[in-house]
Structures are given as C-alpha cells and as structure tokens.
Amino acid sequence: MSPELQDELSAAWAELTEAAKNSRVSNFQACTRTGRPWTEDPAAVRAVAATLREFPETDSQRTT
C-alpha cells in the first residue's frame, strides 16, 4: 500500500471512529462484493462512517 493510500485510510478510520462514538450503534458487520476487505478501502470505510452518522438523526425522529 502506498504511503498516500495509507494516509487516506488512516483518515477514513479516524472518521469512522468519530462517527461510531457519536452513534448509538455498538456493533456492526460489513462485507464487500469484490472480495477485497472493506477495512482496506478508504471509500468503503467512509461509507460505513456516513451510515453511522445517520443513526443519531434517524433515532431522534418519530415514526408513525
């Protein structure tokens, strides 16, 4: 992995860590369709972070 990609991956994991702290989600599983581990793909890590950031907003909304 190139140093640039490693830096991007580290930044993505920092985003995911922050999103997880602010979310009510305590556990999750993820997988890919490509066979490449999602944990090594900055875009995939950021997508999981974006999903987790939705939970506090969704949780506070009332559904009828």
> Count of alpha carbons within 13 Å of 49, Cβ hemisphere only?
18
Task: Using alpha carbons, select from 29, 20, 31, 4 the residue that is nearest to residue 56.
Answer: 20
CA 64 vs CA 59, 61: distances in Å: 13, 10
If one counts the domains in the chain, the total is 1
Mean pLDDT by 10 residues, the chain (64 residues): 95 95 82 86 94 70 50
Q: In angstroms, rounded to a whole number, what is the distance separating the alpha carbons of residues 61 and 64?
A: 10
11: containing domain: 3-60
